[in-house]
Every structure is written in C-alpha cells, then in structure tokens.
Amino acid sequence: MGVVCVYMYPVPEGKSGQQVVDSMQRQLELLGAVKTGNFNVDCETYLSNNPQGTPQRSLHLLHNSEQPASCFSVLDTGTTLVADVLFEVLMAKLTQSKSGKDGFYQQRKGFKIESKGPRFEISDFVIKIGSVSMASNFKGILVEVEYCPCAIPAECWDLMREMMQSFMGTVADTPPAIVKSKKDQFYTPADTINQYLEHFTNFRKATVASQQPR
C-alpha cells in the first residue's frame, strides 16, 4: 500500500466535466501512462434510528475497487473500520425492520455518491481521474495519485508533489489534511477512504447549499 493523495480538480467555467477528464487523460498519455482499467469508489450513508431526544448518528459505508475484498465504514466521530465485504450483509440486517419495529439504521435515500473513471499507471505511480456523481448528477472531478513503493508520506511527499504539478498544476501545492496529519506514520487504505469521504461530504454540502437558495 503506497501513499495516496486525493485532490478535487476544479472544473473551469464553460467546460464540461468530460472535457476536463479527456484533456487530463491526453496529458497523462503524453507523459507515458498506460491505462490499466477503471476504478470505482462509492459511498452510502446510514442514519441511526435513535429514540427521541438523542441526536442522530450517521454511518458511511464505502467501497474502493482497489481493495476489492474490503468494505470501509466510517462513523461521524471519525472511527474507521476496515472489514470484509460481508459487512454489508450485517448492515442490511441492522437496517431491516422486523415485526413492526424499525431497524437500528435507515439508509438515507438519494445520498449515494461515487467517483468513477479510468486508472493509469506510470512506473511507480497510479493515477486515477474520477468523475463524481450523485444520483447520476455530475458533481466534480477527483484526482487520486498513489505512489506505491513508499508508505510514509513524509519521505515521498516532495516527489509526489512534483509528479502532480506536472499535469495538475497548482492544485497540489499542499498535501491533503489527512496526509499532513500522518506525515511520519504508515499510510493505510483507511486514510484514502477518509480523504474520499471528506471530498464527498464537501460535494454534498455544496449540493445542499446550491439547493437551499430557492
């Protein structure tokens, strides 16, 4: 598992998301990248059914095609659990309403958000350009860059920044907050997921904010 940085690439006015993705793809191919398939990161949210009075807690369930056997779940407190895919079955059981009583959790409809796109490999780097969509509405572009050989961010951050600046420009000046906080520790897949979750939350907030002034 290498070090992963996820950035949101701003879509300039007038251009569509697809155009931006294509242009980036061309840039990468010029650099010598090889397309090795597609990737998919998705997130579903569950809300707890608490008795009256207690605030509702949320649980996010994420999948990453890079770790096909795993299922990640993040609580609103920040606790992250990396589990086998059978965890979904457990969630389904918790969500089930039996004999009139509601289940412990309920799925928040229409909140499923995912990032899909092509996956490229350039020697030790893996670059993914994902178009984020929520209920088939395009929301933005997330670029993920992974440097496989190293697992400690402090050691490879400079190299990664150089790589990212070559095709992303100034977007990647500072490391993401999570990478910064874990500079000298081992980087884990759970950290990648937290980065994605942060971006997804931002996209959702942006949706709510844009919907509100009506």
Q: Which residues bind other proteins (CB under 8 A)?
A: 1, 65-71, 82-87, 188-190
Q: What is the dihedral of CA 81, 144, 121, 116, to 10 degrees?
A: 80
Q: Minimum distance from CB of 152 to other proteins (Å)? A: 17
Q: Which residue, 195, 157, 170, is CA-closest to 62?
A: 195
Nearer to other proteins, 128 or 139 (CB): 128
CA 148 to CA 3: how far, in whole Å? 7
Least Å distance, CB 91 to other proteins, is: 14
The smaller minimum CB distance to other proteins, of residues 72 and 203, is found at: 72
d(CA 182, CA 157): 12
Our CB check for other proteins shows the closer of 85 and 177 to be 85
Q: Nearer Cβ to other proteins, position 10 or 149?
A: 149
| In the complex, minimum distance from the CB of residue 127 to other proteins, in angstroms, rounded to a whole number | 15
Nearer to other proteins by Cβ, of 2 and 175: the residue is 2
Residue 12 and residue 20: Cα distance in Å, rounded?
8
**Nearest distance, CB of residue 205 and other proteins, angstroms:** 27
User: To the nearest whole angstrom, how small is the minimum distance from the Cβ of residue 71 to other proteins?
Assistant: 7
d(CA 120, CA 129): 9
In 3-state terms the chain splits into helix, strand, coil percentages (rounded to 5) of 35, 35, 30
